[in-house]
Structure 1
């Protein structure tokens, strides 16, 4: 993988989370973790919706660039299919920024990001397990299972969806960074 692709991968989640954090700070007078969706921070008509939407788009573009490097890195067809589905999830992430809450496609691109991102990382992790990274594969399966269980619980426990969304975001980001650490920096452990 090219060094600039790896750097794009390292930076991309940090850019999204910084944008979301800034949007929460700006809208703290009305936005509540338990009552809202993350997308409420980027909705159509909100004065500073770009504070979240622009970083999400930048993140998606950088992460797609990084993930195309992953396709060249791995030869196992299962891993490659998983990475391909993960890339589809990143395309949906770009869609969240381009079609914010209040537009017709928003619901679909939002669900597309969480489903494709999570299923993609699960399949890629299983493929890597098949390639000899057993501990990483086990981590992937356990992370996916925990994500599904916690998100299902959070959907029933809170009136808003931000908490289950953050569970999905943090699971995807955790897998992403664990992959970088396991594959590209294995001797530093």
Structure 2
């Protein structure tokens, strides 16, 4: 993997989360974690929708660049397939920025990001288990199950989807940084 791809993988989530945080601060007079979706911060017609949408698009582009390098690091077809599904999820992330709330197909690209991102990390983790990374596969499966259970709870407990979305985002990011640690920084 190129050093620039590694840096893209490190910085991409920081850019996305910074954009979301800035959008929350700007829109704090009406936006609520328990009453809204994250996408409400980038909806069509909102004066500062670009504050979230531009960083999401930049983040997605950087993450795709990183994930293409990650694809070359995978040794078996299962982990390669998982990274390809994860890359599909990153294209859906770009779609969230390109098709903000209030446009078609925003709903579909939003769901696509969470589903493909999560299934991609689960499949990649299982593939890495085939390569002998048993602790990482156990971590991946436990994280996936926890994400699904917490997201289902959040969908039932709150009228909004923002909490479930943040659960999905932080599960994907936790897995991403743990994978980076295992593959590129541990024992270096």
**TM bucket, shorter chain:** over 0.9
Inter-partner Cα distance in structure 1 for 2:56 and 2:147? 21
Instruction: Give the structure 2 partner of residue 27 of structure 1.
Output: 27
Instruction: Give the structure 1 partner of residue 14 of structure 2.
Output: 14
Instruction: Establish whether residue 102 from structure 1 lines up as the match of residue 108 from structure 2.
Output: no
Inter-partner Cα distance in structure 2 for 1:137 and 1:76? 14
Q: Cα offset for 1:186?
A: 1.5
Inter-partner Cα distance in structure 1 for 2:74 and 2:32? 41
Inter-partner Cα distance in structure 2 for 1:114 and 1:14? 18
Q: TM-score, normalised by structure 2?
A: 0.99
Instruction: Give the structure 2 partner of residue 163 of structure 1.
Output: 163
In structure 1, the gaps of 5 or more residues are none
- How many residue pairs get matched? 188
Q: What is the correspondence of 1:31-46 to structure 2 with a 5 Å cutoff? A: 31-46=31-46
Inter-partner Cα distance in structure 2 for 1:170 and 1:138? 18
- CA-based RMSD of the aligned residues comes to 0.6
Instruction: Give the structure 2 partner of residue 183 of structure 1.
Output: 183
Instruction: Establish whether residue 120 from structure 1 lines up as the match of residue 120 from structure 2.
Output: yes
Q: Cα offset for 1:95?
A: 0.1
- 1:9-32 CA distances to partner (integer Å, 9 max, x unpaired)? 000000000000000000000000
Q: TM-score, normalised by structure 1?
A: 0.99
In structure 2, the gaps of 5 or more residues are none
Instruction: Establish whether residue 134 from structure 1 lines up as the match of residue 97 from structure 2.
Output: no
Inter-partner Cα distance in structure 2 for 1:73 and 1:2? 11
Inter-partner Cα distance in structure 1 for 2:170 and 2:56? 15
Q: Secondary structure at the match of 1:187?
A: coil
State the 4+ residue runs in structure 1 displaced beyond 4 angstroms.
Answer: none
